[in-house]
Amino acid sequence: MKDSQLHNVKSLKAVQSEVQIYNKVALSVDCVIFGFEENKLKVLLIRSDMKKFQSRWSLLGDLLNPNEDLDDAAYRILNQRTGMDDLYLEQVNTFGKVSRHPGGRVVTVAYYSLINVLNHKLQILDNEIHWHDVNAVTDLAFDHQDIFETCLKRLQKRVQEHPLGFNLLPNKFSLRELQNLYEAILGIKLDRRNFRKKFFAMDFLVDMEEIETNVPHRPGRLYQFDYEKYEKNKKKWSGIDF
Amino acid sequence: MKDSQLHNVKSLKAVQSEVQIYNKVALSVDCVIFGFEENKLKVLLIRSDMKKFQSRWSLLGDLLNPNEDLDDAAYRILNQRTGMDDLYLEQVNTFGKVSRHPGGRVVTVAYYSLINVLNHKLQILDNEIHWHDVNAVTDLAFDHQDIFETCLKRLQKRVQEHPLGFNLLPNKFSLRELQNLYEAILGIKLDRRNFRKKFFAMDFLVDMEEIETNVPHRPGRLYQFDYEKYEKNKKKWSGIDF
DNA sequence: GCAAAAGTGTTGGAAATACACCCATGT
DNA sequence: ACATGGGTGTATTTCCAACACTTTTGC
């Protein structure tokens, strides 16, 4: 008697045909795309094309292709819809309630992403895609409201643990812009002096030795985020903690 | 011309048949089941039945049923394999690399769970299911090593944000047991005096007015975790922070 | 009485908060 | 000159880490 029989071990072929007859479900990827504009945190939404959800908004999503990694699918959706290619992406959660999609069983993997609205004007100007103030997002189609809120909470948490915010800002930014961003994401007011101290203490802002222009007041200095320095000192980093 | 034509709105029927022809993939759920025994953090593993992974260990998992919610599937796996029904479950991440399963495309949703090993002896005594010290887990089948490590890291983080640890302990426990648990999960030594202070300050341990028995030294008091009190004061709670 | 862990308080230092004034620019 | 936000320093408080001795039980 062979070992493989003794232990009921399955050959590759057996496993392959097993997988063939597995139950399968449609798998989609939905993206909560955040941007920052006019000192507000925004999210990119598209109008649902389903009668059931007439004129309600929904997240941007698409089906997973048969030979596509999950992360690649999320990236593809973002790239197709926005034309942007430098972005921050993070998987958040998978939503699989049986009846979440009226058309049948569709499980969806949710990502959020951060993009720099200023550097890249939306290249696909579908007039049914719009930026929405996150505070005004209600009643999305499907279970997208739930997905959206889960992703927003995740972002709020992450941004206090890692310096992600920079992905939403132009390359060079003033400390006020940075503070406005944090206040918009967290929905709270922060003390300006302590905010500055905190970020300077982290020591990964590079002074560009430039100043703002066209502001109706004393111009602020511009800074860049030093990704390299941050990567090197990552271990020491233990969060922002407002 | 009807509204639905104007805006190219899809009827329910149209959407249903659309979903029918969607690309579909096999979707599984894998569980990283943690237990606590002999002052070590353990994980429940089963021997792979695939020739390719001969005698390597793998996580407990199964396919998602067609009419089953994701969380329900995770619960079912745990219940089937361990016979336990009071457990903590949390979805962690979805792994979807195209070639992660040798049998074909299988996307898997990973959960970790915490169970109380003492209260419930494993009811399914399959001799190929065993508890393993988390520090000795290497070279799991499939991408399970990756999944396992992701889940362990998540647990380490969560346990510092929320009082989950109690799910791994008997109903009544001494502070030493609690500390041993935290030390095992985090892999660090903690100061006993400060540990006690911290937990008493949180104020959701209930003194059972009982003491340990059969210990070869001064017996410690036994406590219970007060879930209700914790739920009520959740907002105030901001983490353990060792 | 000895081994082994239970139980308890204090102190110093670091980090976060709160807070007020002068400065540079555009109008 | 004034309105607006830029830029900075200090005092107070709060929280955490470090640390040592007495007590209770089993053997």
Per-residue pLDDT tens over the stretch A31-57: 999 999 999 999 999 999 888 888 899
Are residues A171 and A130 part of one domain?
Answer: no
The reply to whether the CB atom of residue B196 sits less than 7 A from any atom in nucleic acid chain C is yes
Other CB atoms within 10 Å distance of the CB of residue A221: 14
Place of tokens 């299988």: B106
Question: How large is the average pLDDT for residues A59-84?
Answer: 94
Min Cα–Cα distance to chain B from A112, Å: 14
Nucleotide with minimal C1' distance from the CA of A198 is C16
Q: Is residue A7 part of a domain?
A: no
CA–CA separation, B80 and B78 (whole Å):
6
Quick check: B10 and A102 CB within 8 A? no
Write the secondary structure of B98-153 as one string of H (helix), E (strand) and C (coil): CCCCCCCCEEEEEEEEECCCCCCCCCCCCCCEEEEEHHHCCCCCCCHHHHHHHHHH
Using an 8 Å CB-CB cutoff, list chain B residues near A9.
Answer: 49-51, 54
Among candidate residues A133, A160, A187, the one where a domain is terminated: A160
pLDDT above 50: residue A3: no
Are residues B53 and B117 part of one domain?
Answer: yes
Length of chain B: 242
Write the secondary structure of A85-128 as one string of H (helix), E (strand) and C (coil): CCCEEEEEEEECCCCCCCCCCEEEEEEEEECCCCCCCCCCCCCC
Are residues B117 and B95 part of one domain?
Answer: yes
Interatomic separation, CA of residue A175 and C1' of nucleotide C21, rounded (Å): 20
**CB interface of A with B, residues 99-118, below 8 Å:** 101-107, 109
Question: How large is the average pLDDT for residues A82-88?
Answer: 85
pLDDT above 80: residue A196: yes
Interatomic separation, CA of residue A221 and C1' of nucleotide D6, rounded (Å): 9
**A117 pLDDT band (50/70/90 cuts)?**
confident
Percent of chain A at pLDDT > 90 equals 77
CA–CA separation, A226 and A231 (whole Å):
9
Q: Is residue A9 part of a domain?
A: no
* CATH number assigned to the domain comprising residue A97: 3.90.79.10
Q: Is residue B99 part of a domain?
A: yes
Are residues A143 and A36 part of one domain?
Answer: yes
Residue B232: its pLDDT value, please?
87
Are residues A153 and A58 part of one domain?
Answer: yes
Q: Give the chain B residue whose CA is nearest to the CA of A64.
A: B23
Residues 6+ apart with CB under 8 A from A66: B23, B25, B105
Question: How large is the average pLDDT for residues A104-125?
Answer: 86
A167/A1: higher pLDDT: A167
Q: Is residue A228 part of a domain?
A: yes
Are residues A69 and A142 part of one domain?
Answer: yes
Q: Is residue A195 part of a domain?
A: yes
Nucleotide with minimal C1' distance from the CA of A215 is C26
Are residues A129 and A40 part of one domain?
Answer: yes
pLDDT above 80: residue A5: no
* CATH number assigned to the domain comprising residue A212: 1.10.10.10
Please, what's the largest Cα pairwise distance for chain B?
Answer: 87
Question: Number of folded domains in chain B?
Answer: 2
Tokens found for residue A57: 């908004």
Which of A2, A12, A15 is most worth mutating to test chain B (most B CB atoms within 10 A of its CB)?
A15
Q: Is residue B10 part of a domain?
A: no
Are residues A125 and A84 part of one domain?
Answer: yes
Are residues A178 and A68 part of one domain?
Answer: no
Among candidate residues B139, B160, B181, the one where a domain is terminated: B160
Any CB–CB contact under 8 A between A126 and chain B?
no
Using an 8 Å CB-CB cutoff, list chain A residues near B19.
Answer: 26, 101, 103-106
Residue B2: its pLDDT value, please?
40
Average pLDDT, chain A: 91
The reply to whether the CB atom of residue A196 sits less than 7 A from any atom in nucleic acid chain D is yes
Q: Is residue B111 part of a domain?
A: yes
Residue B160: its pLDDT value, please?
94
- Nearest by CB: A10 against B7, B50, B65: B50
Rg (CA), chain B: 22
pLDDT above 90: residue A206: yes
- Nearest by CB: B9 against A51, A64, A96: A51
Main-chain dihedrals φ then ψ at residue B57, nearest 5 degrees: -90, 155
pTM of the full structure: 0.94
Are residues B69 and B142 part of one domain?
Answer: yes
Tokens found for residue A226: 């030093």
Are residues B180 and B218 part of one domain?
Answer: yes
- For B112, the domain range is 21-160
Among candidate residues A140, A160, A180, the one where a domain is terminated: A160
Residue A49: its pLDDT value, please?
83
Are residues B26 and B82 part of one domain?
Answer: yes
Place of tokens 């920052």: A36
Length of chain A: 242
Helix locations, B24-106, DSSP H = 70-82
Any CB–CB contact under 8 A between B25 and chain A?
yes
Any CB–CB contact under 8 A between B13 and chain A?
no
β pairing state of B24-37 and B106-114: parallel
Q: Is residue A8 part of a domain?
A: no
Question: How large is the average pLDDT for residues A147-158?
Answer: 97
The reply to whether the CB atom of residue B214 sits less than 7 A from any atom in nucleic acid chain C is no
* Tens digit of pLDDT at every position of chain B (242 positions): 344 344 568 999 999 998 999 899 999 999 999 999 999 999 999 999 888 988 899 999 999 999 999 999 999 999 988 888 878 999 999 999 999 999 999 999 999 999 998 776 766 666 688 999 999 999 999 999 999 999 999 999 999 999 999 999 999 999 999 999 999 999 999 999 999 999 999 999 999 999 999 899 999 999 999 999 998 888 777 778 78
How many pairs of residues across A and B have Cβ atoms under 8 Å apart?
Answer: 137
The reply to whether the CB atom of residue A242 sits less than 7 A from any atom in nucleic acid chain C is yes
